[in-house]
Structure 1
Amino acid sequence: MNSVKKSFLVSAVSVSLCASVSANAQTTLKVSHFLPPSHFIHDTFIEPWTKEVEECAGGEVKFQIFPGGSAFGNVAKQLDQVKAGVVDIAHGLSGVPRGRLPRTNIIDMPFMVKSSDSATRALWDLYQQGYIADDFKGLKVLALHAHNAGLIHTRDKRIDDLSQLQGLRIRFPSVTTKSMLESYGASAIGMPPTQVYENLSKGAIDGTVFPWDAVGAFKLDEVLKYHLDAKAYTTSFFYVMNERKYNMLPEKVRGCIDTYSGQALIDQLGGWWNDADKPGYEAAVERGNEIIEVSDEQRQRWREQLEPVVNSTLESLKADGVEDPQGLYDAAQKAVAKYE
């Protein structure tokens, strides 16, 4: 075989091999969140979502999930990690670190929503209409959501009015909730959810603010007696992807991510939260704890009493660069009303 033919065959084989490698190339995407693998966010939401996208993409992509407690599972770092491309996709709390997603946190206002479903759908509307889009520059938003409205749980003292919080030490989950508790004379205590059981059992705190899912997850029914179903607040979450990484993906993979994200997730998240709340509620009932119901009229009165807290929060948003906080708040209320 002469050298010309040999060279041609080598080149042809090389091209063929490269084409084969290219055709079988697989992208691995890192997904991080801050919750344990036992939480429904992991085993009902994120893990099945990755499997759906993998199957849709026909093997062109796979995912590696890093939950809470892993190298990329720190709640305070989720947003920075995905923006920097350290991870490709992240699920995190909108309020951590504080002030990073100020527009999105509008849904966290006291007595804004009753359910995860209405909060989640309202957030998605606000994003699509451009009200909160500036919070997510450089990111591909896969979903935004919030948990069912939280209760005020107490250890020894039964309360049926927020004025009875005076002097109580209550663990708070967000800055807005902290302001709400302090406006009624409570001492707002910050601590990780994992430390609440121990501090309640020792009497270091008198109560906590949580949705039902946390009561079940942390067995708080064992150290609580009273649950004021005030539907006082919610906390919002983001599920986002590094936009540059998304744009670099093959068209088929991008299409699969789009198919199983956005409205497809929004339509399911409220139901997932309802399912997650059931064990906590049922555990409290089975133990004989008292659940104090609250009327819409009472919630409205509390909401009116908290207008100074709302106004102060809106002023803080303005200081954080939000151009029209009042307009954003009005739009959020309108969006929630649409679904409640």
Structure 2
Amino acid sequence: MTKTTIRLAAASVLALSAAGASADVNLRLSSWVPAQHALQTTGFEPWLASIEEASGGSITSTIFPAQQLGSALDHYDMARDGIADITYVNPGYQPGRFPIIALGEQPFHVADAAEGSAAFDRWYREYAAQEMPDIHFCMAFLHDPGTLHTVEQVLLPSDLEGMTIRPGNATMGRMLNLLGAASVQVPAPEAREVIARGAAEGLTFPWDSVWLFGIDSETKYHLDMDLYATTFVLAMNQSTYDSMTSEEQAVMNDHCTSEWAGRLASGWAEQEASGREKALADESHTVHQPTEDELAAWREATAPLLEEWKAEVSEAGHDAEAIYDRFTDAMSAADALVQQ
């Protein structure tokens, strides 16, 4: 390369910088689920492909699955610190840090993940900036309702007393403690090992993830009820977003929407629901559908968790009742709220 060419290239870079433009962007998306997980194959990959197409190829991406860039517990801070450009965050892995979004974890509230995720995202956008100021919020969504999967049969809340269970989020951890069980908080990819070595006797999980993570060889008993959901966020590094051109930012804005939250969750929800059919078809597994009395016992036993959530959110200076009413209104309008 001649000195003249070098000077021209440098001048072009300076001109682009002066105009507020950036070089092409390659987004590093960090996830802690395996590459074959439905969230990646039916969610992340189509989403990122749409971003690349809409940007005319100026925004490309690389997915780093299975905790390659860091632990599932650290993904919010990884987006904040720029370890990745976009991260897949489970806010419930850090109890008490994000109290408002934790409402989505409450037992017997979420009935549908696809339509529910779009409604959930619309609701949470009002609070995201104040609760997650360290990152550029992209979207929030939910997984298909999960339940209890155990090595020994559990029928009633009292059966959990003395057991050790891996919870799916902070609210499930509180539920277990409320019911006399101990909780072992580990990321989803590490759940099978914990159960296999006897450090836990079950877990709360969506249905097909039991098979995807190989836990079906350990947990043979399942409660057939929509016990809970887990909240998730796609968090973007603020500096990455700020460094984009206005055109690129517009593409990201068009892909960080409630509609996309529903689309991201829908394929995964369909896959998770199929796990129930696998359990029903496998003679080595027992799926128990609670009776009306048993279901009433579960609802009564877990009711204090909502009051705890309201107290925690109120102590943080928010109007818990108003937040709860907006949540139930949004989920009900989407026909995604469990009948209360």
TM-score interval, normalised by the smaller of the two chains: 0.7 to 0.9
The equivalent of 1:173 in structure 2 is 168
Percent of aligned positions with the same letter in both sequences? 25
Deviation at 1:253?
Answer: 1.6
Determine which of 9, 14, 24 is the counterpart of 1:26.
24
Q: Radius of gyration: which is bigger?
A: 1
Q: TM-score, normalized by length of structure 2?
A: 0.83
For structure 2, list consecutive stretches of 5 or more residues without a partner in the other structure.
336-340
1:149, 1:232 within 8 Å by CA — same for their partners in 2?
yes
- Counterpart of 2:205 in structure 1 is 210
In 1: Cα distance, 2:215 partner to 2:33 partner? 18
Unaligned regions of 5+ residues in structure 1, if any?
A: 1-9
Counterparts of residues 49-198 of structure 1 (less than 5 Å): 49-70=47-68, 72-128=69-125, 130-157=126-153, 159-198=154-193
Give 1:221's aligned residue.
Answer: 216
Deviation at 1:40, TM superposition (A): 2.0
- Separation in 2, partners of 1:57, 1:155: 49
Q: Which moved more, 1:193-202 or 1:268-277?
A: 193-202
What residue identity is the alignment partner of 1:262? T
> What's the counterpart of residue 14 of structure 1?
8
Q: Residue 39 of structure 1: CA displacement?
A: 1.5
Distance 2:95 2:249 in 1: 31
CA contact (8 A) 2:145 2:206 kept: yes
Contact 1:32 1:89 in 2 (8 A): yes
Q: Distance in 2 between matches of 1:268 and 1:101?
A: 24
Q: CA, structure 1 residues 295+135, in 2 after alignment: closer, same or farther (shift >3 Å)?
A: farther
Q: Distance in 2 between matches of 1:281 and 1:330?
A: 31
Conserved 8 A contact 1:115-1:270: no
Provide the alpha-carbon RMSD of the alignment: 3.0
Distance 1:16 1:176, change over 3 A: closer
Distance 1:152-1:96 versus aligned 2 partners, 3 A rule: closer
Deviations 1:88-118 (A, max 9, x none): 2221111233333221111111222122125
Change (3 A) 1:155 1:254: same
Deviant stretches of 4+, over 6 Å:
none
Larger RCO, structure (CA 8 Å, separation 6 or more): 2
Change (3 A) 1:116 1:294: farther
- C-alpha distance in 1, partners of 2:271/2:156? 27
Summarize deviations over 1:238-276 as a string: whole Å, max 9, x none.
012233432331222222222333133123134212232
**Equivalent residue letter for 2:89:** G
Task: Confirm whether residue 315 of structure 1 aligns to residue 311 of structure 2.
Answer: yes
Alpha-carbon distance in 1 for matches of 2:267, 2:9? 49
Preserved contact between residue 39 and residue 264 of structure 2 (Cα < 8 Å): no
More divergent stretch after superposition (86-95 vs 298-307)? 298-307
Bigger Cα displacement from structure 2, 107-116 vs 27-36: 27-36
Q: Please give the alpha-carbon distance, in whole angstroms, between the structure 2 residues aligned to 1:113 and 1:290.
A: 24
Which one of 42, 65, 86 corresponds to residue 40 of structure 2?
42
The 1:153/1:14 distance shift into structure 2, 3 A limit, reads closer
CA shift at 1:144, angstroms? 0.5
Q: Cα 1:256–1:203, aligned 2, differ >3 Å: closer, same or farther?
A: same
Tell me the alpha carbon deviations over residues 284-331 of structure 1, each in whole angstroms, 9 at most, x when there is no partner: 223222222246786465334433232223323344x24222332232
Deviation string, structure 1 residues 187-210 (Cα, Å, up to 9, x no partner): 333334344434544554332211
Q: CA deviation at 1:165?
A: 2.3
Alpha-carbon contact 1:53-1:256 (below 8 Å) kept: yes
Q: What residue is the counterpart of 1:7 in the other structure?
A: none
Q: 1:332 aligns with which of 310, 327, 334?
A: 327
Q: Are the aligned partners of 1:213 and 1:277 in contact in 2 as well (CA < 8 Å)?
A: yes
Out of 32-41 and 183-192, give the one that drifted further. Answer: 183-192
SS at match of 2:184: strand
Instruction: Report the Cα offset of residue 217 of structure 1.
Output: 0.8
For these two proteins, the number of residue pairs brought into alignment is 326
